[in-house]
Amino acid sequence: MNQNYHKKQLKKLKKQEKELRKESSIQKQRQRKSSVCKMYKLVFEKRALHDLNKLEKEIKERIWNKLQDCKENPFRFFEKLVGIQGFKLRIGDLRVIADIIREKEAIIILKVGHRKNIYEN
């Protein structure tokens, strides 16, 4: 009886191991597909660079890291603006205003600033 129990447990473990291998191979395939996708390039307008240079180093790094995340799929993070052309990216109380050009795969950063005054001209 003890041997039968061990054999069943061994079979069960082998089956679980086989399923885990199958799952990990599926994950690897997904990673390969995602690594093949094209990345958008970042283009900064002169005003956006000027706005960025006014900010503290830690805030600049936060913005830069968020923009790097957006390069793979910008429409996941950017929201369409209402009333004016463009998109906004929220980073805490800060906003990044940008245009996204699908044909050229480019994100053009127009403005960077605090949410209370970023929408003013």
Instruction: Tell me the per-residue pLDDT of 29-70, one tens digit each, with 9 for 90 and over.
Output: 666 555 556 789 999 999 999 999 999 999 999 999 999 998
Single pTM value for the model: 0.67
Domain spans of the chain, in order of start:
1-36, 41-114
Is domain 41-114 classified as CATH 3.40.50.1100? no
* SS3 assignment for the chain: CHHHHHHHHHHHHHHHHHHHHHHHHHHHHHHHHHHHCCCCEEEECHHHHHHHHHCCHHHHHHHHHHHHHHCCCHHHHCEECCCCCCEEEEECCEEEEEEEECCCCEEEEEEEEECCCCCCC
63-118 confidence digits (pLDDT tens): 999 999 989 889 999 999 988 889 999 999 999 999 999 899 999 999 999 989 88
Confidence of residue 27 (pLDDT cuts 50, 70, 90): low
